[in-house]
Amino acid sequence: MIRTASLASILALLPAAATAQETSNAPMAAKSAEAERAAMAEEMRVGPVVGQPAPAVSVTGPEGEVRFTDLAGEKGTVVAFFRSADWCPYCKKQLIDLKEAAAPLADDGWTLIGVSYDPPETLADFKAAKDLPYGLYSDVGSAAIDAFDLRNPDVPAGSRYDGIPHPAIIFIAADGTVKAVMREEGYKDRPAVDAIMELAAVL
């Protein structure tokens, strides 16, 4: 199931504070319950907060270092954070599947790009080999991945996989605001192309 890492949306799904409290204790109990829900939601959140400015970070492409807003269409940029175009078969499939989304998203005012910790050369080779109609951008060192709160903390430091993100689709408006975050529970599953385009159409 696709989930959005929006603090507000997670809070809306959590149970309301219990109402069977003494009247005199109700305000304090409500505040305590609200704080607990907020803490739980923040712990569950992966990725940037919807409605907040996206981190002003740069990634590297054929044109050099760019920010996501530099690449934006009329509505903004759709950024697919993925683990690797080198060794991750699920990422490779996703990148190929996203070929279908590039033109419809562009028609709707969105620029589609992919971002991983792969070196620029690896991404350029994959893009050429698979004839991808959208850009792939390198985040060597994972500065953007960290800024977007997507780094997978379960990977051992110094390993080949250190710095990979939790896969996510981030919608960033032309003004730099995070409009939506799409993720799946497991790294083997990715948001369906149709779902991405449907969400883009309503943002």
CATH number of residue 112's parent domain: 3.40.30.10
Q: Is the domain of 151 the same as that of 117?
A: yes
Q: Is the domain of 18 the same as that of 107?
A: no
Structure tokens at 157: 């430091």
Smallest CA-to-CA distance from 116 within 104, 101, 132, 100 is with 132
Residue 52 in domain: no
What is the structure's pLDDT at 131?
98
Residue 1 in domain: no
CA distance 73 to 106: 7
How confident is the chain (203 residues) per 10-residue block, as mean pLDDT? 41 39 54 44 69 97 96 98 98 98 97 98 98 98 98 94 97 98 92 96 96
Q: Is the domain of 32 the same as that of 62?
A: no
Residue 162 in domain: yes
Q: Is the domain of 93 the same as that of 164?
A: yes
Give the domain range for residue 68.
58-202
Cβ(69)–Cβ(174) below 8 Å:
yes
Residue 53 in domain: no
Q: Is the domain of 19 the same as that of 66?
A: no
Q: Is the domain of 184 the same as that of 99?
A: yes
What is the structure's pLDDT at 46?
84
Residue 50 in domain: no
CA distance 122 to 14: 42
Q: Is the domain of 97 the same as that of 172?
A: yes
Helix (H, G, I), strand (E, B) or coil at 120: helix
Structure tokens at 81: 């954070």
- This prediction has a pTM of 0.79
Number of structural domains the chain divides into:
2
